[in-house]
Structure 1
Amino acid sequence: MKTADLRAKTPDELETELMNLRKEQFNFRFQKSTGQLENTGRVRIVRRDIARIKTVLNEIKSGKKPVATAKKAAKAPKAAKAEGDKAPKKKKAKE
């Protein structure tokens, strides 16, 4: 679930979505304890979705606007080294 999608929803819709995810998380805990849980990765996704919803709800309640993150600049490609630019290899000392 994308954060932008969550911000487009109303607080009531977010609350219902939060309750549904908590019920799903509850069921996953029982399935895990009985050994019936097949998709273990879904537990992580549900947990993170719950955190996202709670974050958006707190932003709405406090009246804060989300801070836009800056994109990282693309790195310039490194120049290729010439064959003679390599450092000489050190010889191992015999003991």
Structure 2
Amino acid sequence: MSKAKELRDMSDEQLDLTAKEAVDKLFRARVQSQTERLDAPSELKRQRRLIARVKTIQTERLQAAAAK
């Protein structure tokens, strides 16, 4: 679900929920990486990129709304 097109098709509420879930997963992965061996080290990178994509789309929407 991390494709930008799929994220752009989401509503604002869905984007907020997706961002919150990604932040929570990133936090849990960071804690796990510090306390024990992480199953998938690439999960940290994947969650960071998902958060960045969501924030980028939210910023684009805010700028588009301000331009109108």
TM-score above 0.5, yes or no = yes
The one-letter amino acid of 1:12's match is: E
Aligned counterparts of 1:36 and 1:15: Cα–Cα separation in 2: 30
Aligned counterparts of 2:14 and 2:39: Cα–Cα separation in 1: 29
Q: What is the aligned partner in structure 2 of residue 33 from structure 1?
A: 34
Pick 1 or 2: higher relative contact order, CA cutoff 8 A, min separation 6.
2
Give matches, 1:3-18, under 5 Å: 3-18=4-19
Same amino acid, percent of matched pairs? 27
Q: Deviations over 1:48-93 (max 9, x none)?
A: 01000000000011117xxxxxxxxxxxxxxxxxxxxxxxxxxxxx
- The secondary structure found in structure 2 opposite 1:5 is helix
Identify the structure with the greater helix proportion.
2
- The secondary structure found in structure 2 opposite 1:63 is helix
Q: Which runs of 4+ in 1 moved over 3 A?
A: none
* Residues paired across the two proteins, number: 64
Provide TM-score, normalisation by structure 1.
0.64
Aligned counterparts of 2:43 and 2:28: Cα–Cα separation in 1: 12
Q: What is the aligned partner in structure 2 of residue 53 from structure 1?
A: 54
Aligned counterparts of 2:61 and 2:7: Cα–Cα separation in 1: 11
Aligned counterparts of 1:31 and 1:43: Cα–Cα separation in 2: 11
